[in-house]
Amino acid sequence: MTYKAPLKDMLFVMNELAGLSTVNTLPGCEDATADTVEAVLEENAKFCANVVAPLNHSSDKEPSFWHDGQVTTSKGFKDAFKGFAQAGWQGVQHPTDFGGQGLPKLVATPCIEMLNASSISFALVALLSDGAIEALLTAGSDEQKATYLEPLVSGKWTGTMNLTEPQAGSDLAAVRTRAVPQGDGTYKVFGTKIFITYGEHDLTENIVHLVLARTPSAPPGVKGISLFIVPKFLVNADGSLGARNDAHCVSIEHKLGIKASPTAVLQFGDNGGAIGTLVGEENRGLEYMFIMMNAARFGVGLQGIGLAERSYQQAVAFAKDRVQSRDLAGSAGPVSIIHHPDVRRMLMSMRSQVEAARALAYVGAGISDVAHHHDDAAVRASNLAVYEYLVPIIKGWSTEMSQDVTRDGVQVHGGMGFIEETGAAQHYRDAKILTIYEGTTAIQANDLVGRKTVRDGGAVAKSIIGQVRETEALLAAQGGADFKAIHRALSEGSVALEAVVEYVAANMKTDIKGVFSGSVLYLKLAGIVLGGWVMARAALVAQAKIDGGDGDAGFYKAKIATARFFADHILTQASGLRTAIVEGSAGVLALTEDQF
């Protein structure tokens, strides 16, 4: 159950598909030279593999626990987080002004993948801090930035996101937590928040809660939500800790997976009011929270990729080790099960989907860097639009994929997979949260349909499909069965995706329920087609390397074979999805409530 970071694939994707050599010419990104990046990734890989990955299984067996308002995290977490903070890993992508390394998102992305492959439960605390930092950078006052950012970036403190309430799951319009102004610039916060990841823990001396609440004058619904900082301990002017704030963890959840990460119920204001300060302007909380959410959604996509990679590595190791039954094509004794075609099919399915999702996410990260750092505003804007189109796909598709992959990961192990000691089952359990938190797949799909497709009449989607078509032309110019198969599957995929984008844009007004009946399938289709696209691009690069006599032909040949597998086995689902989306809403909507 070890983990070895797939640095070779990561660097291949960064250099050949995600445009590292372009990103590191952007203003502020010049430090991210190829050599520096490789060194950073190697160091990060060592830390993750040696310090964090060994905690994954033991912390699942002995999860964090609650006692009298305190949460004790799993054995080893405290030291690991100290090491994480001291090495500066929390700050990889954050500004140097606040103690960060100031590296581009494209470089932070593999670091986040590695940390999550090592232990999602552990990585979550860092992911939540990233979100809090993003929100404060965007909307915090200078004083708030001065007080909170440096300790968050350094890992001295951690951050949380407090959205959900018992009566309001995905529906933020229903938020009831109150924030009452005290006349001195502070507010008293009252309410209950649930599902607060690392809402309480013993890793750091303070926790910075970012809390959605309503002021007394707030309008109803999502337009009346404001964002507040409510620290666990108040912070004195000199940065030292003051009084314990009235924000207490009353319990943590008993969960299917990610058991080592405490999921807290937080009670604000039961003893007079939790003291908080407003972030940005009143009633704009949702907007700021979306900054955290978007960063976090991309990060959850990486969780899916990291977890799937871990599950794949474990399955490969087992399949090479476990000797059972004869080779179908031979009569000698029993062989390792990696020789059996269906085991191999599962491993290739896992591998190809992980590689495709990784490539898509990293390409997205590169686009995000251009969107944030390019000196031409028009270039920034067009790249931002593409990035924002990709975020729900990266989050939704990578996490759904992780559930397919971890299921196969158990299956490869046979009966041993069902035994908890083996560790494969933990990945299957852990994966299930990823399609739920930071917005369920349906919420991602709503975003993809509404804000990302209908709003611009499908223009961004079609511009991306245009890029897919350029790749198809290059594929058509290649010879050989592999490229022929990839070309055919990708072409069918892009036709299907285009038809669906047009269907969505055309029917939203007249048949909104019909369109949303297929929203998750549209997200899946987009993931498959764009995943197939980046794999096709990878195969083209690999062929060029082989043709150019590049040394590592084994790696490049495997990349082409993996792209071929993805085309034949995954991309071929596209046409069926198109029919299900365009023709399938009648069956979704036909039954009355009583008929269920």
**Residues 179 to 238: which contact a second copy by CB under 8 A?**
194-195
DSSP states along 84-104: HHHTTGGGTTS-GGGT-----
Residue 243 or 590 with smaller CB distance to a second copy: 590
Segment interacting with a second copy, rule: CB under 8 A, options 42-50, 82-90, 323-331, 544-552: 323-331
CA distance 7 to 426: 24
Residue 109 or 313 with smaller CB distance to a second copy: 313
> Minimal CA–CA distance to 532: which of 491, 504, 501?
491
Asked whether position 69 contacts a second copy by CB under 8 A, the answer is no
Q: How many residues touch a second copy (CB under 8 A)?
A: 108
Asked whether position 332 contacts a second copy by CB under 8 A, the answer is no
CA distance 10 to 48: 15
Residue 420 catalytic?
A: no
Residue 108 or 128 with smaller CB distance to a second copy: 128
Residue 333 or 548 with smaller CB distance to a second copy: 333
Report which secondary-structure segment, H or E, holds 279. Answer: strand 274-279
Q: Are 159 and 133 in contact (CB under 8 A)?
A: yes
Residue 382 or 572 with smaller CB distance to a second copy: 572
Residue 9 or 150 with smaller CB distance to a second copy: 9
Q: How far is the CB of 63 from a second copy (least distance, A)?
A: 12
Q: How far is the CB of 43 from a second copy (least distance, A)?
A: 26
CA distance 476 to 468: 12
Q: Compute CA distances 530 → 295, 368, 465, whole Å.
A: 20, 17, 9
Asked whether position 297 contacts a second copy by CB under 8 A, the answer is no
Q: How far is the CB of 562 from a second copy (least distance, A)?
A: 7
Q: What letter does residue 269 receive in the DSSP assignment?
A: S
Binder of a second copy out of 320, 379, 381, 477 (CB under 8 A): 320
Residue 372 or 488 with smaller CB distance to a second copy: 488
Segment interacting with a second copy, rule: CB under 8 A, options 2-10, 26-34, 247-255, 281-289: 247-255
Q: Are 242 and 234 in contact (CB under 8 A)?
A: yes
Q: How far is the CB of 210 from a second copy (least distance, A)?
A: 18
257-286 binders of a second copy (CB under 8 A): 257
**Count of residues for the chain?**
596
> Minimal CA–CA distance to 12: which of 541, 563, 402?
541
DSSP states along 335-375: EEGGGSHHHHHHHHHHHHHHHHHHHHHHHHHHHHHHHHH-S
Q: How far is the CB of 162 from a second copy (least distance, A)?
A: 14
Asked whether position 520 contacts a second copy by CB under 8 A, the answer is yes
Residue 188 or 214 with smaller CB distance to a second copy: 214
Buried/exposed code over 308-333 (b: 16+ C-beta within 10 A; e: otherwise): bbbbbbbbbebbeebeeeeeeeeeee
135-174 binders of a second copy (CB under 8 A): 164, 168-171, 173-174
Q: Are 190 and 273 in contact (CB under 8 A)?
A: yes
Asked whether position 4 contacts a second copy by CB under 8 A, the answer is no
CA distance 498 to 574: 11
Residue listed under structure tokens 């990302």: 452
Q: How far is the CB of 571 from a second copy (least distance, A)?
A: 9
Binder of a second copy out of 50, 58, 138, 324 (CB under 8 A): 324
Catalytic residue of the set 400, 438, 472, 492: 438
> Minimal CA–CA distance to 517: which of 579, 436, 451?
579
Q: What is the phi/psi pair of residue 140, to 5°?
A: -70, 150
435-454 binders of a second copy (CB under 8 A): 435-437, 440-442, 445
Q: What is the phi/psi pair of residue 19, to 5°?
A: 75, 45
CA distance 209 to 200: 10
Asked whether position 564 contacts a second copy by CB under 8 A, the answer is yes
Residue 429 or 469 with smaller CB distance to a second copy: 429
Asked whether position 433 contacts a second copy by CB under 8 A, the answer is yes
| Axis crossing angle, helix 519-547 with helix 441-449, rounded to the nearest 10 | 80
DSSP states along 197-239: ETSS-SSSS-EEEEEEEB-TTPPSGGGG-EEEEEESEEE-TTS
Binder of a second copy out of 243, 328, 377, 378 (CB under 8 A): 328
Asked whether position 576 contacts a second copy by CB under 8 A, the answer is yes
Q: How far is the CB of 92 from a second copy (least distance, A)?
A: 29
Segment interacting with a second copy, rule: CB under 8 A, options 145-153, 227-235, 272-280, 329-337: 329-337
Q: How far is the CB of 95 from a second copy (least distance, A)?
A: 33
Binder of a second copy out of 69, 219, 341, 466 (CB under 8 A): 341
Residue 172 or 474 with smaller CB distance to a second copy: 172
Binder of a second copy out of 78, 372, 407, 469 (CB under 8 A): 407
410-429 binders of a second copy (CB under 8 A): 410-411, 414-421, 425, 428-429
Asked whether position 344 contacts a second copy by CB under 8 A, the answer is yes
Residue 380 or 407 with smaller CB distance to a second copy: 407
Q: How far is the CB of 516 from a second copy (least distance, A)?
A: 4
Q: Compute CA distances 78 → 64, 82, 155, whole Å.
A: 11, 6, 12
457-516 binders of a second copy (CB under 8 A): 481-482, 485, 489, 512-514, 516
| Axis crossing angle, helix 519-547 with helix 459-476, rounded to the nearest 10 | 30
Binder of a second copy out of 69, 239, 334, 466 (CB under 8 A): 334
Asked whether position 7 contacts a second copy by CB under 8 A, the answer is no
Residue 390 sits at the vertex; the CA angle it makes with 23 and 571, to the nearest 5 degrees, is 110
Q: Calculate the CA dihedral of residues 166, 277, 296, 28 and round it to 10 degrees.
A: 180
Quote the tokens at residue 540: 């083209």
Q: How far is the CB of 267 from a second copy (least distance, A)?
A: 18
Region of residue 132 (left: phi > 0; alpha: psi -120 to 50; beta: else) = alpha
Asked whether position 325 contacts a second copy by CB under 8 A, the answer is yes
Q: How far is the CB of 120 from a second copy (least distance, A)?
A: 13
Active site residues: 438
